[in-house]
Structure 1
């Protein structure tokens, strides 16, 4: 079976491999196509596409946007974006500025807790387009304040913990509309990992679909088989695009592999035909 992966991150956001290294790894894993979907940035796509062309790997221009859903955070993937559209660049600049404000507030909280963490510890700013929570977690681990990134998340940077700052995210409708404005398809990422859905994401999907959602990330490493089946039936019933991906982040998710997740996630190439028909 020809395989693809439509949810992949590079070090332009919170992955650890460069866009070129992502393409090389995908090719080494015999993937036919990937979508580079870094958080709130398209900075790595051209590099990834250039390497992909050399290797015969299709690289779909994508993004993962954080969106507000009635006070809760969800993620919406944009696939097949028009990278030349000025609206995309202008809007993403505002998103990055909001992230930077949040990062400064989180940095101040860590310092107030007595941790000697500076901006320089978060990574080389001339190479990073986005600073996110994994950068804080790795900095804490590198400084010897924690034994793992998971420990930092659990103790400090999840909602309710002392260094957490709520992200100022645009509404889900704003994200869907932006993706459509720049020629893309809007896909809800990993519906079953949002704790607030209480194992029933269908009411949320109904509302998102009413507001223009094009598809759902059905195949995902943390989705159980009954959940995948339920989402597949929902998409077929409502003429929504079915996608899938590993959510690869390199060493920031060390047991999660590109193209196969935890070893069992397989996304068939045939799913790309839906984008042609949609």
Structure 2
């Protein structure tokens, strides 16, 4: 900050991010939901904006936390999704891609929703 190449980041609200993801043809999922103050209030607000899922499966979560988030997703008719949160090749701190259990049903529901909405799916 204050340097010659510094550029202020554009700040967006969570609702604005959900709306942007939808406009870009994506399916918005709330990641790291346990880092927000009132998860349920956030879920209610974001679902009204178009949220489709909650990251419930994550390597840093206990079984109890996973179960709580899956229940929250079910309560609000959202998809319980998950991921490794992989950011790079540091084996000491990163969970490798595929290193977190996410039920196949989660992926199938996301794919079905994408197809229902006419979104373009990219395969590897």
User: In 1, are the aligned partners of 2:53 and 2:78 still within 8 Å (CA)?
Assistant: yes
Partner SS for 2:28: strand
Partner SS for 1:257: coil
Task: Choose which of 213, 218, 234 in structure 1 pairs with 2:51.
Answer: 213
Q: TM-score, normalised by structure 1?
A: 0.35
Summarize the alignment of residues 108-257 of structure 1 with structure 2, pairs less than 5 Å apart. Answer: 108=3, 167-192=9-34, 194=35, 196-197=36-37, 200-251=38-89, 254-257=92-95
Q: CA deviation at 1:168?
A: 3.2
Q: CA deviation at 1:220?
A: 0.9
Q: Determine the C-alpha separation between the residues in 2 that align with 1:203 and 1:170.
A: 18
Q: Determine the C-alpha separation between the residues in 2 that align with 1:226 and 1:240.
A: 19
Deviations 1:130-182 (A, max 9, x none): xxxxxxxxxxxxxxxxxxxxxxxxxxxxxxxxxxxx84322222221121122
Q: Tell me: CA distance 1:249–1:266, structure 2 relative to 1, closer, same or farther (3 Å).
A: same
In the alignment, does 2:104 pair up with 1:269?
Answer: yes
**After TM superposition, which residue ranges in structure 1, 4 or more long, deviate above 4 angstroms?**
none
Bigger radius of gyration: 1
Question: With CA pairs under 8 Å and 6+ residues apart, which has the higher RCO, 1 or 2?
Answer: 1
